[in-house]
Amino acid sequence: MTVSPLAPHTFPVLPDISGVALSTAASGMKYAGRDDMLLMRLEDGGTLAAVFTRSDMAAAPVVWCRQQLAGGGTPRALLVNAGNANAFTGDGGMAAVEACCRGMASRLGCAPGEVMMASTGVIGEEPLDTTILAAQFDSLVAGVAGWQAAAKAIRTTDTFAKGAGAGASIGGRTVHISGIAKGSGMIAPDMATMLGFIATDAALPRDVLAALLAEATKHSFNAITVDSDTSTNDSVYLMASGRAGNPPVSSAADPALDSFRAALDTVMQDLAKQIVRDGEGASKFITVRVAGAADDDAARRIGMAIANSPLVKTAIAGEDANWGRIVMAVGKAGAGVDPRQLDISVGGLRITAGGARLEGYDEAPVAAHMKGDEIDIEVRVGDGPGGARIWTCDLTHGYVSINADYRS
Amino acid sequence: MTVSPLAPHTFPVLPDISGVALSTAASGMKYAGRDDMLLMRLEDGGTLAAVFTRSDMAAAPVVWCRQQLAGGGTPRALLVNAGNANAFTGDGGMAAVEACCRGMASRLGCAPGEVMMASTGVIGEEPLDTTILAAQFDSLVAGVAGWQAAAKAIRTTDTFAKGAGAGASIGGRTVHISGIAKGSGMIAPDMATMLGFIATDAALPRDVLAALLAEATKHSFNAITVDSDTSTNDSVYLMASGRAGNPPVSSAADPALDSFRAALDTVMQDLAKQIVRDGEGASKFITVRVAGAADDDAARRIGMAIANSPLVKTAIAGEDANWGRIVMAVGKAGAGVDPRQLDISVGGLRITAGGARLEGYDEAPVAAHMKGDEIDIEVRVGDGPGGARIWTCDLTHGYVSINADYRS
């Protein structure tokens, strides 16, 4: 598989997170010659929060994890497999998750409900073959891996491994955040077809962690789209080991969390952007900014209409400054925009005013911007307070080839 | 341009409609060597109804026609141009429509507000050059054309001319319906990027005509999608000349209209299907049927989620029986479907039951169905009364080529 032209040059140096142990293994289930399993263990005293797909067809591992987390306990481990999504697999799929979590729990000396699971692959295949996975449990428990190996083990159609990290300070104590993600197609709002695993050594209560994760997800993984298609398996986990020994924090609103919040945003937005950069067939990274909407929801609806429009995405693939398609997309969003208030800029160059093309509009500099691999679209739709920023990629022959020419 | 492989073999024989006169002309504005203007005239005593795009960015001709029709008068003529959409053209665009309608009205001896206009082409170009169009007005008024010539004149990226006709009986009197349409890309619910012009010699009051048109639109032009993108210019007109001399009908609910309603459905559904068959790059015609939803709206939402999914559409382009992507699309529709109640059939072959793949599922016959050029997807989502039927096409390299490689 050719690496995306928009890929970062290198995998970043990510610090180990004290209190969170990683290990990987190769089950051989689908991918030859590479690891396809990941185990993340959280030591005593840690906390964990997670967000999941909003699909009505949530996969068996998502259903399992929601159930366990609703119980209120703190998970001790997270088991990940790539190559079989265990989605739409009925009772057999649920039984497979439970068997895996039981098997791992018995090795870790915890309850089955303290083991979480995340899976990615083709929907509706046979339920997970638990024997093939279980054969690797001992070596997973015995092993040690770094973040890059972990990021590699969770890939499916990804063309590069995705990682991001940042440091922060809570109450004068330095804390670290390291995270990895996978995702390339079936990427859309309400959690892209993606898995994200982020760990920190900060000490944070579970409810604070959940609030921080929900907030950061809104502007990262839920602000991207590749193809408008929402997966059954999306899961993002944030684990906090507490090993940094920062002073206790009891509320997500505590100003002591300002630095941590910013660092978490950095890590999650970096990972989200890497998923878009690995969008199937992507040749351009597109940022859509919407301002002046009635509220943030309306702005998001407009931004997603632009970012998901096949005609906008193919025009950008063709390096065509066809801004009329942006007008079309704003119109179809149904947010009640008055054409006279719609100002469109591409690459910082204003194109429209007063409901028509700007007088004396010169296409040449806009066309030049379209030749680059970072395309900026800004849309002002009125004088309201609502804004949104969406990341997406173009729609190319590569996307069709990847998705029409073999089963991914 | 290569003709779509899904095109009908011939243009149908369509009867002239007494009381509705057609003529075409070549302005040379954008297309060389072909007609690009159409004039439809409705003689005294006729009635007219229209439906338009719901885009917030409705084009100048749509704004003009809505205003005139709201006034309650009966239009006498409809002027159509292909090659410039006159959309997002501000005050200049409105002035251009008014100038055209004034010019034509003075030749026809009617009020400017009795002339309707419909335009199709690229959004946001210069406002219509009224001089170029007006130069053809005299020859349009003097000319006579048949339905096939009319259908050819309104094409843009269409690869074939689209027409359909049917006969019916009202109160024992035979009436005729003939119609044409254009559309290929930017085709989505709430009126595809399309124009449709249908005429009948039946005598029907305007409110009855409007009710019949709204009803028939729901199951024809509003039940198709090529690329989920909604145009700024969609317009469908239905004219009734009254020349057939049928007994008066005063309500759309009158059983005397049963035959006419069925014939109108036939004509409009035929035209709608032809637009899908000419979908940009289309290689397969896809019918999505949804049954058992809570209500028709939920069924439509699920059907559109499937029909608009790039992953479903590319799988079909690749003749891949990847039904997991249908599961994904149902899940993202957010209609609250229980996976255990989701039954998917492709080509009449049942694939799922009880929230998983059917036991003993044999992919071979489904794969054989995928090789054909008519793909049938049926989805039962529960025991509710809601149903929907959506027509769409696959997403191919051809779509990307058409839309990325030049400005259409």
**Rounded to whole angstroms, what are the CA distances from B329 to B309, B322, B379?**
7, 12, 11
- Same domain? For A181 and A116 the reply is yes
Answer whether B135 touches A (CB < 8 Å).
no
Number of domain units in chain B? 2
Supply the pLDDT for residue A192.
38
Report the C-alpha gap between A384 and A269 in whole angstroms.
26
Q: How confident is the model at residue B244 (pLDDT cuts 50, 70, 90)?
A: very high
Supply the pLDDT for residue B190.
38
Q: Rounded mean pLDDT of B362-375?
A: 94
- Choose one of B277, B300, B335: the last residue of a domain: B277
Residue B5: inside a domain, yes or no? Answer: no
Which amino acid would we find at residue A245? G
Report the C-alpha gap between B235 and A59 in whole angstroms.
43
Q: Do B88 and A324 touch (CB under 8 A)?
A: yes
Q: How confident is the model at residue B192 (pLDDT cuts 50, 70, 90)?
A: very low
Q: Are strands A356-357 and A285-293 parallel, antiparallel or unpaired?
A: unpaired
Residue B143: inside a domain, yes or no? Answer: yes
Supply the pLDDT for residue B187.
56
Burial B228-263 (b: 16+ CB within 10 A, else e): bbbbbbbbbbbbbbbbbebeebeebebebbebbbeb
Report the C-alpha gap between A113 and A65 in whole angstroms.
8
- Same domain? For B253 and B299 the reply is no
Residue B261: inside a domain, yes or no? Answer: yes
In this structure, what CATH number is given to the domain that contains residue A367?
3.10.20.340
Residue B148: inside a domain, yes or no? Answer: yes
Residue B4: inside a domain, yes or no? Answer: no
The dihedral over CA atoms of A293, A297, A303, A309, expressed in degrees to the nearest 10, equals: -130
Among candidates B90, B229, B318 on the partner chain, residue whose Cβ is nearest the Cβ of A311 = B229
Supply the pLDDT for residue A184.
73
Mean pLDDT computed over every residue of chain B? 88
DSSP codes of every residue in A287-308: EEEEEEESSHHHHHHHHHHHHH
Which runs of consecutive H residues, i.e. helices, occur in A49-122?
Answer: 60-70, 90-108
Residue A89: closest CA among A53, A52, A61:
A61
Burial of A375 (0-12, 13-18, 19+ CB in 10 A): buried
- Same domain? For A228 and A131 the reply is yes
Answer whether A58 touches B (CB < 8 Å).
yes
Q: What is the ipTM of this complex?
A: 0.77
- Same domain? For A131 and A209 the reply is yes
Q: Do B310 and A342 touch (CB under 8 A)?
A: no
Q: What angle do CA B99, B100, B101 make, to 5 degrees?
A: 95
For A30, phi then psi, to 5°, come to -135, -40
Using a CB-CB cut-off of 8 Å, the residues of chain A touching B310 are: 227-229, 310, 395, 399, 403
Say whether pLDDT at B332 is over 50: yes
Max CA distance (Å), chain B:
73
Among candidates A124, A230, A399 on the partner chain, residue whose Cβ is nearest the Cβ of B357 = A124
Q: Which residue has the tokens 């929801």?
A: A297
Q: Rounded mean pLDDT of B53-66?
A: 85
Among candidates B188, B309, B404 on the partner chain, residue whose Cβ is nearest the Cβ of A314 = B404
Which amino acid would we find at residue A375? I
Residue B1: inside a domain, yes or no? Answer: no
- Same domain? For A73 and A130 the reply is yes
Residue B11: inside a domain, yes or no? Answer: no
**SS3 of residue B268 by DSSP:** helix
Burial of A16 (0-12, 13-18, 19+ CB in 10 A): middle
Q: Give the side-chain half-sphere CA count within 13 A for A286.
A: 32
- Choose one of A277, A294, A320: the last residue of a domain: A277
Enumerate residues 210 to 249 of chain A having a beta carbon within 8 A of any beta carbon in chain B. Answer: 227-232
pLDDT in tens, B97-146: 999 999 999 999 999 999 999 998 877 777 889 999 999 999 999 999 99
C-beta separation of B113 from B71 below 8 A = yes
Q: Which two tokens stand for residue B180?
A: 């044409």
- Same domain? For A169 and A314 the reply is no
**SS3 of residue B142 by DSSP:** helix
Q: Do B403 and A89 touch (CB under 8 A)?
A: no
Domain that holds residue B366: 285-404
Q: Do B327 and A395 touch (CB under 8 A)?
A: no
Answer whether B186 touches A (CB < 8 Å).
yes
- Same domain? For A83 and A199 the reply is yes
Say whether pLDDT at B49 is over 50: yes
Whether B193 is catalytic: yes
Q: Do B339 and A55 touch (CB under 8 A)?
A: no
The tens-digit pLDDT sequence of chain A (408 residues) is 688 888 888 999 998 999 999 999 999 988 889 999 999 999 888 898 888 877 777 889 999 999 999 988 789 999 999 988 888 888 899 999 999 999 999 999 999 999 999 998 877 777 889 999 999 999 999 999 999 999 999 988 888 898 889 999 999 999 999 988 888 766 553 333 578 788 899 999 999 999 999 998 888 888 777 776 667 777 778 889 889 999 999 999 999 999 999 999 998 888 888 888 888 888 999 999 999 999 999 999 999 999 988 889 999 999 988 888 898 888 888 888 888 899 999 999 999 988 888 888 999 999 999 999 999 999 999 999 999 999 999 999 888 888 886 554
Enumerate residues 293 to 322 of chain B having a beta carbon within 8 A of any beta carbon in chain A. Answer: 308-311, 314-315, 317-318, 320, 322
Torsion over CA: B353, B357, B362, B366 (sign): positive
Most confident of A271-285, B1-15, B62-76, B98-112: B98-112
- Same domain? For B253 and B341 the reply is no
CA distance A93 to chain B (A): 9
- First vs last C-alpha separation in chain A: 12
- Same domain? For A104 and A163 the reply is yes
Residue B14: inside a domain, yes or no? Answer: no
Q: Which two tokens stand for residue B162?
A: 């689209």
Q: What angle do CA A400, A405, B3 make, to 5 degrees?
A: 60
Q: Do B229 and A310 touch (CB under 8 A)?
A: yes
Report the C-alpha gap between B19 and B41 in whole angstroms.
8
- Same domain? For B105 and B248 the reply is yes
Q: Do A327 and B401 touch (CB under 8 A)?
A: no
**SS3 of residue B292 by DSSP:** strand
Among candidates B231, B308, B338 on the partner chain, residue whose Cβ is nearest the Cβ of A328 = B231
Supply the pLDDT for residue A24.
97
Nearest CA in chain A to B186: A311
Q: Which two tokens stand for residue A323?
A: 């801004």
Most confident of A100-114, B5-19, B254-268: A100-114
- Same domain? For B317 and B210 the reply is no
Report the C-alpha gap between B35 and B28 in whole angstroms.
8
Report the C-alpha gap between B318 and B307 in whole angstroms.
16
- Choose one of A277, A299, A320: the last residue of a domain: A277
Supply the pLDDT for residue A314.
92
Q: How confident is the model at residue B180 (pLDDT cuts 50, 70, 90)?
A: confident
Supply the pLDDT for residue A193.
55
Using a CB-CB cut-off of 8 Å, the residues of chain A touching B405 are: 318
Catalytic residue among B156, B193, B217, B392: B193
Q: Which of A403, A407, A408 to mutate to test the interface with B (most CBs of B within 10 A)?
A: A403
List, in sequence order, every residue forming a beta bridge with A391; answer none if it has no partner. A224, A287
Nearest CA in chain A to B127: A356
- Same domain? For B235 and B368 the reply is no
Supply the pLDDT for residue B331.
84
Q: Rounded mean pLDDT of B339-359?
A: 90
C-beta separation of B239 from B282 below 8 A = no
In this structure, what CATH number is given to the domain that contains residue B242?
3.60.70.12
Q: Rounded mean pLDDT of B300-327?
A: 90
Supply the pLDDT for residue A355.
84
